[in-house]
Every structure is written in C-alpha cells, then in structure tokens.
Amino acid sequence: MKKPLYFLLALLFLPLLTIAQTKVDASEIIAKINRGEAVNYKHAEITGNLDMTKLKNMKLKNGKDKGNDTKEYISTVTAPVVFEDCTFKGDVLAYFNPDGGINIKDQKNEVYNTNFEEEVRFENCRFEQATAFKYSQFEQNVSFAGSRFEEEALFKYTEFEKGADFSKADFRDLANFKYVTFPAAPNFRGADFDDDADFKYAKFENGVNLQQATFNDLANFKYTKFSAPANLKGTRFNGSTDFKYTRLGNRSVDLATLQARSK
C-alpha cells in the first residue's frame, strides 16, 4: 500500500515543484517581442532586466529642433503581453533615461520609451526592482491587478487609451501617476498604497473606482480633475491628504464631498 500512496503524493506535489522550478531569462522574452510573437507566461520567475526600451523596431521620434535638444527613441511592442503569477527579479523597463543621476557635462540628452499596441496584463505579479512605464502609450486594455510593486511604480505621463486595472495592487513604494489622463474609468478597487500616492494633475475623464483602497501615506490629488462616478466608498486615508484645487466636473471639491457622494 505504501508505493501507491507515495505515487499519489508525488502526483499531488508535482505541479508545485514545476511552478517553483520555472525560470525564464528576460532575454528570451525580449527575443519573442522582437519577433513579433505573443508573450504569455504563468508561474514564472523572470531573471535579469526586462528592458523593452531598445527593441529592433526602435525609431527616433524627434531630433534636436524646435527648442528640443533631447533625442527621443520609441520602441513598439506589437503583440499581446501576458504575465500571470510571475516574479520579476530585475527591472521592468518601458522607459529609460541614461542621464538619470549623471553630471550635466556628461549628459547624452537621450530618452527611450516603449509603446504597446495590444493587450498588456501583469496580473498577480511581483516586481522586486524598478518598474518604469513613464510616457508609455497603451492602445488596448492594460491590467496590473493583484500585483505587488516593491519599488517605485513609475506611470508618470503614461497614456492609457482604454481600460486600466490596478485592483488589489500593492504599492510598497511611491505610486507615481502624476499627469496621467484616464479616458476610461480606471479600477483601483482594493489597492494598497503603503507609500506616497501621487495623482497630482491626473484627469479621470469618465470616473474612477477607488472603492476600499487604502492610502497609508500622502494621498496627493492636488489639481486632480474627477468626473462622475468617483467611487470612494470604503476608501481609507490613514496618512495625510492633499485635495487642494481638486475639481469634480466644473466645480471645486474636497475629500469630504467626494466621500459623501460615494455613500
């Protein structure tokens, strides 16, 4: 009777062992993207930096003209990108500025950005290092639902042309959504912001779902423009808040008013 029992236990634990042993080098993923292939990984540990800023289709967007002395290079991901229950051990980059932290005289005046033409999903993933999607354009739906950001989540100036899902996301460091315009109502339901949450100058053109989200540090909505429905039902603000110059539609609004409208 022992052998069948051991065999049964081995079958039960085999999926767990398979999940734990799945490792993928970031270079393999970049190679797929460069070939225009769909990217789809589940239960994988991604090693190395997933740097999507210098793909084979990279093009120079603008030169040094019209008062702009910075060269902007654009790479484009042309196929769907899906990661589920994955851990990223290195950086995940769709934005790179080589001049960051460099002395002025050594600056290159270059910036590298990445746009996405198809669906993008990083669901229930863990980002252990830098995550940068600054200036990225997402043409289709994008989801970071249930994902955990150990370092700054950089979405400053990001363009979400359709839906953006950050429900139950866990931001352990700065969540930077400054200057972002959301044409469709983004979903931040149940999200945790353990550090500063920067939505300064953000625009929610068709509402936003912040229901049951938790802000444990500064919640910065200064100059933010809300539109109905702005759902703050059960939202917790455990740190400081800044709703100065915040607007709902065409009128000024404060946090208390937004919360009252959500009851």
How high is the pLDDT of residue 73? 97
**167 in a structural domain:** yes
Whether 9 maps to a domain, the answer reads no
* Structure confidence at residue 107 (pLDDT): 62
CA–CA separation, 155 vs 26, rounded Å? 21
pLDDT value, residue 262: 87
76 located within any domain = yes
The first and second tokens of residue 165, run together, are 């899902």
Domain count, the chain: 1
- What gap in Å lies between CA 188 and CA 165, rounded to an integer? 7
- Tell me, yes or no, whether 247 lies in a domain: yes
Distance CA 77, CA 57 (A): 9
DSSP assignment letter at 7: H
pTM of the model: 0.88
**Local structure of residue 187 (DSSP, 8 states):** B
Q: Answer whether residue 5 is part of any domain.
A: no
In a domain, 7, yes or no: no
Residue 11: per-residue pLDDT: 53
**What's the pLDDT tens digit per position in 227-251?**
999 999 999 999 999 999 999 999 9
Q: What is the pLDDT of residue 68?
A: 59
Q: If residue 31 lies in a helix (H) or strand (E), which one and from where to where? A: helix 26-34
Give the tens place of pLDDT for each residue, 86-119. Answer: 999 999 999 999 876 444 444 668 999 999 999 9
pLDDT at 99: 75
Asked, for residue 10, whether it belongs to a domain, the answer is no
Predicted confidence at residue 21, as pLDDT, reads: 45
8 belongs to a structural domain: no
pLDDT < 50 regions, the chain: 1, 16-18, 21, 65-66, 101-106
For residue 164, give both structure tokens: 């953006």
Can you give the residue range of the structural domain that contains 208? 22-261
In this structure, which amino acid lies at residue 91?
D
